Amino acid sequence: MNGYQINFYTLQNRKYQDQPIAEWLLEKAQIMGIRGATVIHADESFGSDRRIHATRFFEQAEQPVMVVVVVTEQEANNLFELIKSTDLKIFYTKTPVEFGVIGE
């Protein structure tokens, strides 16, 4: 199949409707019937604010988080429409991909 890999970038402490954004995205993707999503926690990053965000021994709130989904074009459109219907602001990348399952 052809579709897109969409990566959403956020921080552990960023919330939408009292829920971490990564969890909110994961929940919405599951409700929408998207085949799967992966949450990846990183050690360090920086964004448009030019600040270094990092996981430290005592502070996990600034931990960078990426949510990855691989979707069809229609699923991508539905997901973006859902996000646009909120006041959520989140950086993303969208890359064309071929995807499928090999084996049994």
What residues contact residue 50 under an 8 Å CB cut-off, 6+ apart?
Answer: none
pLDDT tens over the chain, length 104 residues: 999 999 999 988 889 999 999 999 999 999 999 999 999 876 665 556 666 556 654 555 567 889 999 999 999 999 999 999 999 999 999 999 999 999 98
| Per-residue confidence (pLDDT) for residue 41, from 0 to 100 | 76
Q: Which CATH class is domain 2-98?
A: alpha beta
Q: Where are the beta strands (DSSP E) in 12-63?
A: 15-16, 19-20, 37-41, 44-46, 52-54
| Per-residue confidence (pLDDT) for residue 70, from 0 to 100 | 97
| Per-residue confidence (pLDDT) for residue 63, from 0 to 100 | 75
Query: What type of residue sits at position 81?
Result: E
Domain locations along the chain = 2-98
